A and B are shown apart, each in its own frame.
Chain A
Amino acid sequence: MDATYAFLASLVPAIAGWPAWAVVALCAGLPALVLFHFMALAPLVYVYGERKIAAFMQDRLGPMRVGPYGVLQTIADAVKLLFKEAIYPRGVDRKLFVIAPLLVNVGAFLPFVVIPWGARLQPADLNVGVFYVSAISAISTVGLIMAGWASNNKYALFGAMRSAAQIVSYEIPSLLIILVPVMIVGSLSLQDLTLAQAGGLQNWFLFRYFPIMPVAFVCFFVAALAETNRAPFDIPEAESELVAGFHTEYSGFFFSLFFLAEYTEMFVVSAVTTVLFLGGYLAPHPTLQQIGPLPMGWFWLWFKAWSLVFVMMWLRWTLPRVRVDQLMYIAWKVLLPIALVLVVVVGGLVLVPATADGFPWDRYVGWPLTLLVVGFLFMVMIRALQWNRHREQELALPGHGAAAVGQVPR
């Protein structure tokens, strides 16, 4: 709140003279409002982003008609879903049917309470922050089962059971891997976890105990992906599988609630991952943390979390679905042993005073690795663009947006 006050006061000095309640309302209320709007309206942007990213990866254009370049498409879809009739199939348990999507949303939105957007920009700095996040996300599971049960549809129930089994199975390696940064820091609070990574890119937990923490990062990311029912683990939602998902019987507004919950959970999980491994709201270099009077913490958390959301979308459109028993295999026989080994190894390393702060070469890993990954992605991008241009020149085609080879000369 004081940061906002300082910022606003530098813009409009007259604020200093306002009554206390007005100042509090403005300086505390404004960030809260911004945050609330962000988390409620962000799924609109995610859905649009997902459709556009999917389209570009598949060499097509995606939504283009509703609004310039289709930006209003999600709003149109949301309005359509709102106007659709909310059908209650015969025999459903009305109360549970309605409460189920609400519960799933509660489990998706509540973790926002502890996500730190800045040093003091955090609704509540609970000292059990990480634990709270895991516990609250589990409420969604209850909502899921409720949805399957209330649907009065044995296939929906199957789907809900499988989905619940999936989430619960992946909670365990996810929690174990959460323990790893917690052990390094010694605190469950998300704020403490972030502050322990201060000082620049090389201090982020991703690059400590290299190469142990990257393995932890990947495993946690996979577990998080499975918890959000996202591809390649999206058996419950799969349209082409025989057994329909838990949300089969839902239509209209309730359906949109489930999707809202899914995309929000994607962001929440990405945000938690960035706090744990990627330095939360910290900038890669301390000089970028504050640009003039404007603190940039929120930008960095937002940027990193959205990059992870992008990676989730990227994976969805690349990979096929994993079968249910293979999903369980991955959770129990791959991720769980790795997580256990990680906990033991890192726990041991932390206790030994020589390696309490990481391996000696950790300092030299952060920047080169990041630059390597960024450079590689850049190279592939430039190559792709060059290939396109080369192709068009070779065929001397007039470009009208469809550079299809085989657009035969007349």
Chain B
Amino acid sequence: MSAATPGTWTSDWESGSLDTDEMVLNMGPQHPATHGVLRLELRTDGEIVRAARPHIGYLHRCFEKHAENVDYPGVMPYADRMDYVAAMGNTLGFALTVEKLMGIELSPYVQTIRVLMAELQRIASHAVAVGTYTMDIGAFTPFLHLLRDREKVLDLFEWTCGARLLYNYNWVGGVSHDLPDGFVRAARDLLREFDSVTHPELLDLIIHNRIFVKRIANVGVCPPELAISHDLTGPNLRGSGLARDLRKDFPYSGYERYEFEVPVGKGQYGPVGSCFDRNWVRVAEMRESSKIVHQALDRLERMEKTDVHEKVPKRVKPPKGEIYFRSEAPRGQLGFYVVSDGGINPYRVKVKSPCFTAMSAFHHLAKGLMIADVIALIGSLDIVLGEIDR
């Protein structure tokens, strides 16, 4: 089953086997539960889904083409807009890729700032993911509580660099703004409240709620072999029990110096790899990110400050060559493949988007589910169409 090859309509499906009992249901591009403009074509037999085909491309904005026509610093705003929910992760990935190509080494201070921002962004992104997921399942309140805390994270970002959602913060060679005075205290306040109030409340209110658990604990089970063969990464992979995290396996930007654990799905309420496990991994990762931020803040207080623009080249002109570098974005493994011809514009930028590969497993996960569970499945994969379509 291919996802969105041109000209695929229902007549493409093995029409001989289309029984008269089966019907084709369209969860259209506009649907409150698909987290973006995603069209799902479901072939259902009554209530059970027999086949599912996602159609993407409704949000294609030609990122990779644009990247060939602007210079390297100009690619950053475009990169932000791919996964708009977790913009810091995108720019971090691209900045690290080009820095590796150019051989730039950053000071520990800048690396700590980058880790700090990336982990705060991870908390904010998972807050959206978990919040919208619980809202799809029917509980409206945790979404607002989580967004309230996300707003505080966004306030910190706005204070540092001036923007709330699309920051253009990580630059090739550094970051755009230094941390303002009082940032450490404000960040600690935020985390204190998050760790002591919001996170436990989230667990009590919804995550361990019997109705929620019963709804998603046996749904969308992804066995580890399926996850690996379809290149699921990030929380989707860790939900199936495999502890693979690029921050631990191939650390970048100083992650090897931080102590944190990699949460995996343990199958507390059902088989390992269910929707509940993927969601659980995200909830636990918020806690782990908060630990990392605490450590980063401690380090920042003791570290000597360097100029954040110190290593930013006047003109970003990487030597001729190509490189593929991957980082752990909140949605999974985000990879940038940059080909440089020595000029000021990249020759080619190709992005490996984690949500795109997650959609490839969708058909296998959705087979046999009830229609109401399809919504539970989509939410648990945490897709953002901006990243899938670029």
Contacts and interface: CB of A to CB of B under 8 A. Distances in A.
A and B from one complex: yes
Contact of B189 (A317, A323, A406): A406
Nearest to B23: A154
A406 B191 CA distance: 10
B251 interface: no
B33 interface: yes
A89 B205 CA distance: 41
Contacts of B33: 240-242
B153 A406 contact: yes
B155 A232 contact: no
A58 B135 CA distance: 13
Nearest to A395: B189
B139 A406 contact: no
A54 B144 CA distance: 11
A323 B144 contact: no
Contacts of A288: none
A59 B139 contact: no
A110 B8 CA distance: 54
B186 A320 contact: no
Nearest to B44: A242
Contact of B186 (A243, A322, A408): A408
Contacts of A406: 151-153, 155-156, 186, 189-190
Contacts of A322: 211, 214-215
A320 B209 contact: yes
The DSSP consensus for interface residues of chain B is helix
A238 B190 contact: no
Contacts of A241: 33, 371-372, 375
B141 interface: yes
Contacts of B24: none
Contacts of B193: 391, 405
A114 interface: no
A113 interface: no
Given A60-B144, A406-B152, A408-B186, A324 B138 contact: no
B152 A405 contact: yes
B258 interface: no
A58 B189 contact: no
Interface in B208-241: 209, 211-212, 214-215
B136 to A, nearest CB: 5
A243 B155 contact: no
Nearest to A387: B197
A239 B32 contact: yes
Nearest to B32: A240
Given A58-B145, A406-B155, A318 B205 contact: yes
Interface string B348-373: 00000000000000000000001111
A407 interface: yes
Contact of A242 (B25, B135, B139, B211): B25
Contacts of A391: 193
B148 A238 contact: no
Given A242-B25, A322-B215, A323-B372, A408 B138 contact: no
A42 interface: no
B372 A54 contact: no
Interface in B364-390: 370-375
Interface residues of B, number: 41
A319 B211 contact: yes
B250 interface: no
A232 B375 contact: no
Contacts of A404: 148, 151-152, 155
A57 interface: yes
Given A319-B211, A321-B137, A408 B145 contact: no
B215 A323 contact: yes
Contacts of A59: 144-145, 148
B145 A231 contact: no
Contacts of B284: none
A323 B141 CA distance: 19
B16 interface: no
A409 interface: yes
A70 B212 CA distance: 33
A54 B31 CA distance: 24
A408 B182 contact: yes
B13 interface: no
A368 B16 CA distance: 70
Contacts of A231: 138
A326 interface: yes
Nearest to A242: B371
Contacts of B136: 240
A26 B372 CA distance: 55
B106 interface: no
Given A232-B211, A320-B206, A240 B375 contact: yes
Interface in A219-242: 231-232, 234-235, 238-242
B47 to A, nearest CB: 8
A77 B141 CA distance: 23
A232 B141 CA distance: 13
Contacts of A240: 32-33, 135-136, 138, 375
B134 interface: yes
A179 to B, nearest CB: 28
A406 B182 CA distance: 11
Interface in A189-241: 231-232, 234-235, 238-241
Contact of A318 (B141, B153, B215, B374): B141
A13 to B, nearest CB: 56
Interface in B27-80: 27, 31-33
Contacts of A242: 25, 27, 31, 33, 371-372, 374-375
Interface string B127-141: 000000011111111
Pick the most buried of B153, B183, B189, B375: most chain A CB atoms within 10 A of its CB. Answer: B189
10 contacts: A59-B144, A60-B144, A231-B138, A232-B211, A242-B33, A242-B374, A319-B138, A321-B211, A326-B215, A409-B186
Q: 3 closest pairs, A vs B, by CB? A: A321-B138, A406-B152, A58-B144
Interface of B: 25, 27, 31-33, 134-141, 144-145, 148, 151-153, 155-156, 159, 182-183, 186, 189-190, 193, 205-206, 209, 211-212, 214-215, 370-375
Given A235-B372, A242-B372, A319-B138, 8 more contacts: A241-B372, A242-B33, A242-B375, A321-B137, A321-B139, A321-B211, A407-B155, A408-B186
